[in-house]
């Protein structure tokens, strides 16, 4: 390609081009385009990298679904605690408040809300990473550049430089326009990588916060679970054990309790998942592969990520 | 002697190894030990890089939002380039028609 290009350059630079009236402007423009395209040849050589955006999306999804479960657990616990409290009062004919709800039992855990906010901005960032690599946008740009190249070729071929125009100028114009577009795309990829590089330390901060908060959040949720158990016990105590359905009520509470225990324990998987997010994110700007971004798969992972996010918000 | 860059990389790797070793199967004491070690290494990592870590989740949300906005800006610029090329094509086509008439 480059050798070929050199020949075109030589042809165009010959002085005999300029005496023809009316074509000076065109020749000059083409020289500017050639200068730009040479930049693009250099830029293409620096291999921008990585299809690991896909991996980044995947690991973010996993981490979010695990860590964000804390909000869901909390909301379920608070709601059921309240419901059971009401049931307890109802079953006891509203007489005694044997197990009053403490204010602390109904309050939300501040750390969980703050963490959820961070995770939501992480999801939004991952979504923007997907948006900036949208295959449709890149295809549209390519199509626009091809249309432009063809029209420029036509325009140049109309200018009377018989014998030279068709054979030399047309392929050069096409090459040059595509060169400019490739050049700008390479620059964009570099900019994207630079953004990832600058963002990375903040993700390290975030991973450490998630690590530091895992025990406190689990502990606080276990506190909520204790309050939940107190109200559930009150309901169980008030239910006539000889009546049908009592056993089902017990089973229901029991399986819920086991489920909460399991999910709170599972929050401990959050920090290692954050490590995976960081590894995938780091690969965005360090991997030597082609920066292809495996866009289809990335789209898929991001949509599942957004579903997780939606679930986290509604709870 | 290791440069700051190399030192920060090593600290980073150690922090990542600690994060990866965290698990729901660990006892509270084991979890606390990992967290303590990672916190110390992270402070050193920030010191070596001469950076001020985020004060809390709110700081991070701000930084992630600005990164998100920059990515969206790149997307917009690509779109603008495509639009400009389409406009330029129209001008070229119009000029070609005129040149066909006058040449």
ipTM > 0.95?
Answer: no
Q: Which residues contact A10 (CB under 8 A, 6 or more apart)?
A: none
- Closest by alpha carbon to A16, among A163, A193, A191? A163
- Is there a contact between A201 and B82 if contact means CB atoms under 8 Å apart? no
Interface test with B, best of A123, A142, A147 (most B CBs within 10 A): A147
Contacts of B86 in chain A (CB under 8 A): 144, 147-148
Please count the other Cβ atoms lying within 10 Å of the Cβ belonging to residue A312. 20
Contacts of A147 in chain B (CB under 8 A): 85-86, 89
Question: Using a CB cutoff of 8 Å and minimum separation of 24, what contacts does B65-68 make?
Answer: B65/A121, B65/A124, B65/A125, B67/A125, B67/A128, B67/A195, B67/A196, B67/A198, B67/A199, B68/A121, B68/A124, B68/A125, B68/A127, B68/A128
Contacts of B26 in chain A (CB under 8 A): 268
What pLDDT was estimated at residue A149? 77
Mean pLDDT across A197-203: 93
Min CA distance, B102 vs chain A (Å)? 10
pLDDT tens-place string over residues A264-287: 999 999 999 888 888 888 888 876
C-alpha span between B103 and A136 (Å, rounded): 40
Alpha-carbon distances, residue A103 vs A78, A145, A218, A221, A224 (angstroms): 11, 64, 19, 15, 11
pLDDT tens-place string over residues A209-239: 999 999 999 999 999 999 999 989 988 888 8
C-alpha span between B66 and A224 (Å, rounded): 36
Question: Quick one: angle between helices A270-286 and A170-238, nearest 10?
Answer: 180
Q: What is the dihedral of CA A307, A126, A275, A49, to 10 degrees?
A: 140
Q: What is the largest CA-CA distance in chain B?
A: 88
- Residue pair A177/A149 in contact by the 8 Å Cβ criterion: yes
- Is there a contact between B93 and A151 if contact means CB atoms under 8 Å apart? yes
C-alpha span between A190 and A178 (Å, rounded): 18
Q: Which of B19, B68, B69 sits opposite A275 (nearest CB)?
A: B19
Residue A108: φ, ψ to 5°:
-80, 150
Which two structure tokens, joined as six digits, stand for A9?
């350059």
Beta bridge partners of A49: A290
pLDDT at B90 over 90: no
Q: Which residue has better confidence, A56 or B43?
A: B43
A158 touches chain B (CB under 8 A): yes
Q: Which residue has better confidence, A185 or A212?
A: A212
Chain A residues 54-83 with CB within 8 Å of chain B: none
Contacts of B33 in chain A (CB under 8 A): none
pLDDT tens-place string over residues A244-258: 788 888 999 999 999
Residue B92: φ, ψ to 5°:
-55, -45
- Closest by alpha carbon to B8, among B43, B48, B39, B40? B48
Label residue B21 exposed, middle or buried (CB < 10 Å: 0-12, 13-18, 19+): middle
pLDDT at A32 over 60: no
Q: How confident is the model at residue A59 (pLDDT cuts 50, 70, 90)?
A: confident
B39 touches chain A (CB under 8 A): yes
- Residue pair A167/A24 in contact by the 8 Å Cβ criterion: no
Q: Which residues contact A297 (CB under 8 A, 6 or more apart)?
A: A54
Q: Which of B31, B53, B88 sits opposite A215 (nearest CB)?
A: B31
Q: Which of A118, A131, A145 sits opposite B72 (nearest CB)?
A: A131
Contacts of B56 in chain A (CB under 8 A): 114, 209
C-alpha span between A80 and A99 (Å, rounded): 15
- Is there a contact between B68 and A128 if contact means CB atoms under 8 Å apart? yes
pLDDT tens-place string over residues B11-65: 999 999 999 999 999 999 999 999 999 999 999 999 999 999 999 999 999 999 9
Mean pLDDT across B66-95: 86
- Residue pair A271/A211 in contact by the 8 Å Cβ criterion: yes
DSSP assignment string, A253-311 = HHHHHHHHHHHHHHGGGHHHHHHHHHHHHHHHHH--SB--TTHHHHHHHHHHHHHHHHH
pLDDT tens-place string over residues A76-131: 999 898 888 888 888 877 765 556 677 778 889 999 999 999 988 998 898 888 78
- Nearest-by-CA chain A residue for B99: A158
C-alpha span between A158 and B95 (Å, rounded): 10
- Is there a contact between B71 and A132 if contact means CB atoms under 8 Å apart? yes
Contacts of A122 in chain B (CB under 8 A): 64
pLDDT at A181 over 80: no
- Nearest-by-CA chain B residue for A211: B35
pLDDT at A45 over 50: no
Q: Is the pTM of this model over 0.80?
A: no
- Is there a contact between B57 and A117 if contact means CB atoms under 8 Å apart? yes
Contacts of A130 in chain B (CB under 8 A): none
Question: Quick one: angle between helices A69-91 and A110-131, nearest 10?
Answer: 140
Q: Which residues contact A28 (CB under 8 A, 6 or more apart)?
A: none
Residue entry with tokens 């010191």: B47
- Is there a contact between B96 and A151 if contact means CB atoms under 8 Å apart? yes
Cα R_g (chain A), whole angstroms: 32
Q: Which of B71, B81, B83 sits opposite A184 (nearest CB)?
A: B81
C-alpha span between A122 and B65 (Å, rounded): 8
């Amino acid at each position: 390609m480059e050798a070929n290009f050199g020949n075109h350059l030589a042809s165009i630079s010959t002085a005999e081009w300029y005496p023809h009236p009316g074509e000076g402007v065109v020749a000059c423009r083409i020289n500017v385009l050639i200068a730009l395209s040479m930049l693009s040849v250099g830029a293409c050589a620096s291999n921008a990298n990585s299809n690991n955006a896909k991996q980044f999306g995947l690991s973010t999804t996993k981490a979010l679904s695990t860590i964000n479960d804390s909000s869901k657990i909390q909301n379920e616990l608070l709601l059921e605690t309240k419901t059971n409290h009401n049931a307890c009062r109802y079953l006891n004919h509203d007489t005694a408040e044997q197990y009053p709800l403490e204010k602390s039992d109904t309050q939300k855990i501040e750390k969980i809300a703050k963490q959820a906010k961070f995770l939501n901005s992480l999801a939004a960032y991952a979504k923007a990473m997907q948006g900036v690599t949208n295959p449709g946008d890149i295809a549209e740009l390519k199509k626009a550049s091809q249309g432009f190249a063809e029209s420029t070729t036509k325009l140049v071929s109309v200018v009377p430089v018989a014998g030279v125009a068709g054979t030399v100028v047309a392929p050069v114009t096409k090459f040059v326009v595509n060169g400019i577009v490739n050049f700008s795309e390479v620059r964009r990829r570099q900019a994207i990588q630079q953004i990832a590089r600058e963002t990375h330390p903040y993700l390290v901060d975030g991973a450490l916060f998630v690590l530091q908060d895992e025990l406190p959040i689990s502990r606080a949720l276990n506190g909520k679970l204790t309050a939940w158990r107190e109200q559930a016990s009150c309901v169980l105590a008030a239910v006539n054990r000889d009546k049908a359905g009592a056993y089902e009520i017990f089973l229901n509470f029991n399986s819920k309790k086991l489920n909460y225990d399991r999910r709170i324990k599972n929050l401990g998987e959050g920090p290692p998942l954050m490590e995976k997010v960081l590894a995938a994110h780091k690969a965005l700007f360090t991997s030597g592969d082609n920066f292809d971004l495996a866009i289809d798969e990335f789209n898929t992972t991001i949509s599942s990520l957004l579903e997780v996010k939606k679930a986290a918000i509604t709870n | 002697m290791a440069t700051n860059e190399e030192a920060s990389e090593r600290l980073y790797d150690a922090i990542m190894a600690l994060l990866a070793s965290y698990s729901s199967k660990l006892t509270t004491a084991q979890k606390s030990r990992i967290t303590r070690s990672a916190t110390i290494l992270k402070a050193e990592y920030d010191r070596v890089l001469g950076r001020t870590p985020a004060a809390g989740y709110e700081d991070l949300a701000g930084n992630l939002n600005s990164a998100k906005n920059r990515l969206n800006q790149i997307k917009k610029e690509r779109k603008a380039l495509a639009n400009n090329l389409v406009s330029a094509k129209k001008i070229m086509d119009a000029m070609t028609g005129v040149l066909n008439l006058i040449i």
